[in-house]
Amino acid sequence: MTQSNSYEPMLDNKSPNRNFSPITTELDLDDKLMVGGCTLTDLAKKYGTPLYVLDEETIRVACKSYCNALKKYYQGESLALYASKANSSLVISNIIASEGMGLDAVSEGELLTGLKGGVSSEKIVLHGNNKSDNELLLAYHNDVTIVIDNQHDIDRLDSLLTGEMPPANLMLRFTPGIECHTHEYIKTGHLDSKFGFDLDQLETVLIQLKKADWANLRGLHAHIGSQIFELEPHRDLAEVMAESLKLARDIGHPIKDINVGGGLGIRYVDSDDPPSIDEWVQIVSESIMQSCRSRNLELPRLMCEPGRSLIATAGITLYRIGSRKEIPGVRTYVSIDGGMSDNPRPITYESSYTACLADKPLDPKEELVTVAGKHCESGDVLLKDVSLPSLSDDDVLVVFGTGAYNASMSSNYNRIPRPAAVIVKKGQADLVLRRERPEDLLQYDVIPERFKALG
């Protein structure tokens, strides 16, 4: 894993996904790191560590970048949806709603968070490859668009929506046969994925839904990957989407929406070089327009679902340095007060990050260390073989790019409470997620009466 470990000035204040750090990152008069006008060591002292910190300005700039680019490049209607699986909370839902965006949810919890956070139900879609009846009914009764992922979805809705109930607003997900990687992509007839119908099933499913009086199919959805750095595969996706749109309309479905998913990558380490949000939206927009016009199709509303590229760079995590273990000729380990429970991505995906010390961002790098978590797993390593300034107990370590898939994938492994989260702007920090306490972890435990009788 190649890591980076120094504070660097931002490269692109209009496309946060191209930066290591939030766009408000700066140094105070003592060369201490600040985000959103707040000194990070002060936040660590006040709220404790580990601590998730979200920069409101970075989130809003990313939202505006998507919305403005869609208006700039796409000549039809458009709507950007936040992929809330990246980081689901009431405050994030509130921000994206205030910026005019919608939201995609994949569970009852994410759906409730979006609704309670103020996102309009007509701007929400519900995904999922194994939706429960409760999830389907919650979406239906709130006029949320349900993304049909498989035959099971069709069968359950056919059973649930009976009598005089109005039809459900639906979007159909299919696998386009395009898979993206960091430096290459492959195009296959059938992509190995648990999501969506295969292309060769599409016509049969469209005919089946046309005969269902409970179904109002209004959109088509496809997604080609995650942490994508290439743009060319989106031209292929546009061709597949337009051909599928033509098929659906020919069968008689009033399709008005095309959803191309998300997947734009971010800059985690120095070697990452993602396209800007503007570049991504431009290629997607132009490709859809060209593909539709070549088939004489009226332009649909263009929808996309950014997650990581919208929220990741807005987030950092603060830790305190603790114990040290030196293995001569091998490695020096330094441990932090968090790890795989608040960031499972390194142990799960071998993910890499950029980090520095909050109070020594410009100091010369004097130590080569591996930063280990505190969990009872040898693989609980956050940063491997990174150069950092001379470390002392209680130094605050800043890890950048943790706004996506850290809080949302966190756990209570080893019965360690989840961190608190704050949002910062113009020198003000507000708590948006309370820190769990050890006693909170016991609230759902139940001791059966027969065990109590045993003393």
Residues facing residue 248 across a β-bridge: none
| The pair of three-digit structure tokens given for residue 29, joined into one six-digit string | 């008069």
- Rounded distance, CA 268 to CA 404, Å? 11
Give 299-337 as a DSSP string: PPEEEE---HHHHGGGEEEEEEEEEEEEETTTEEEEEES
Q: What are phi and psi of 373, to 5 degrees?
A: -80, 175
Cβ neighbours of 373 (radius 10 Å)? 27
Q: Which helix (H) or strand (E) holds 153?
A: helix 151-160
Rounded to whole angstroms, the Cα distance separating 120 from 305 reads 16
CA dist., res. 349 & res. 338, Å (int):
18
**Which helix (H) or strand (E) is 67 found in, with range?**
helix 56-73
Phi, psi values for residue 192, rounded to 5°:
-75, 95
Catalytic residue among 63, 304, 356, 376: 376
Rounded Cα gap, residues 269 and 8, in angstroms: 11
- Tell me the C-alpha distance between 281 and 385, whole Å: 36
How many CA atoms lie less than 13 Å away from 235 in the CB half-sphere?
6
Report d(CA 182, CA 230) in Å as an integer: 7
Segment holding 421, helix H or strand E: strand 420-425
Contact 332, 368 (CB under 8 A): yes
Is 38 catalytic? The answer is no
The answer to whether 43 and 22 are in contact (CB under 8 A) is: no
Residue 121 phi, psi dihedral angles, 5° rounding: -60, -30
Catalytic residues: 376
